Amino acid sequence: MGVKRNIALFLGLIILLLSLPIVGAGCGLVVEESPSDVSPQMETDLPAEPSAGPPPQVDTDLPAEFDIIAETWRMLSEEYVDKDKLDAEKLSQGAVRGMIEALDDPYSAYVDPEGYQLELTSLTGKYQGIGAYIGVTDDQLIIIAPIAGSPAEKAGIKPGDKIMEINGEPSSEMSASEAALKIRGPAGTSVVLLVLHEGESDAVEVVIMRSEIELESVVAEMRGDIAYIRITQFLGSTGSDLRAALKDVIDEGATGIVLDLRDNPGGVLAAAVDVASQFLASGIVVDVVYGEDRRSSLSVKPGGIAIDLPLIVLVNNYSASASEIVAGALQDYGRAKLAGSGTFGKGSVQLIRNLRDGSALHLTAARWYTPSGRPIEGVGLTPDFLLELEDEELVDWAIDYLKSQVTAHCLLLGA
């Protein structure tokens, strides 16, 4: 199927769902007001909760090419030897799954009823599993990032690790959602992963005890007079959590901010707009293009409390979707420099449609672009400072950079 760059980033090894009245756009979710002819159930990384009410009416006026589906069912029901294996529901789900797979789109997917119900259980911000973000890149199931303090992190799981097997079952044919369902499980039970650590040649078995995972999206602390703020994912509460954190560090006398978006797979678009709005005075945060003649621009919300503080943003190969929206907007306006490595490149919008049997479709419906019109899908963002530094070394570099900028600014004012 060629190179498949799928960042269907399923939070904590299961898609995190957020109940939102408007649309999302990216693998963690981007949400925006939809045009009148577009369904308000959209996401980019994470699916939105289906709207209430009856399932949509079925259009039976199908192209003639679909006649072979009915023909196949008729032949099976008349001639197949094991009639007891003819489960109409299972076969119909298989047909839908096959149609979606035939699109060869890494972001479009079919989720069966059981899987969709598991997605819906993550609405509370808690779930039981190992605590890691997973995705698929180059047809390989990988770890996007373990959640800090999670069983996955404690077991030595790192970003970029390849998951070769799950409980002895090869992962080569699994989607991220299928893998998530197999890895997730009750707290106190274990899962065995065959993992190929990045840079290693031999895979190792890792036994991980599942536990309850609580999701925290904003972590802030003072490093001297510089505020270090890490956003791990974009949840519905991230905007308000960030504003509260900014108020605290400003009260403590912060002279600059390091915003760390590394290993952040994305999330709710509304949260991405809220985050960017804390650092921008005005302008467009992101453009969502549904087709040649349909476009929706999401603007900065007024009232940001950190629009003047010196800022630098840290990114890496696993910064995706909503992370790229925030970083791209800040870079486009010259509000902040980006430092680290190139970002993932997730710039598409998925439509979430629930089907009448309780299953769901994730369908790519649009692409999004930075304020200056830069495409992100398959390209990503290039940092202003391409650095090979990792972990705390990059944070230390960013702090030193901000201090130099603050000093230069003070000298300029003194002149």
The residues assigned a catalytic role are 321, 332, 346
Q: Measured between alpha carbons, how far apart are the two ends of the chain, in Å?
A: 61
Query: Are the beta carbons of 299 and 285 closer than 8 angstroms?
Result: yes
| Residue linked to tokens 């998925």 | 350
Query: Are the beta carbons of 380 and 324 closer than 8 angstroms?
Result: yes
Burial of 76 (0-12, 13-18, 19+ CB in 10 A): middle
* Separation between Cα atoms, residue 332 and residue 313, nearest integer Å: 13
Structure tokens at 405: 């900028």
Query: Are the beta carbons of 387 and 401 closer than 8 angstroms?
Result: no
Inter-axis angle of helices 238-251 and 269-277, nearest 10: 20
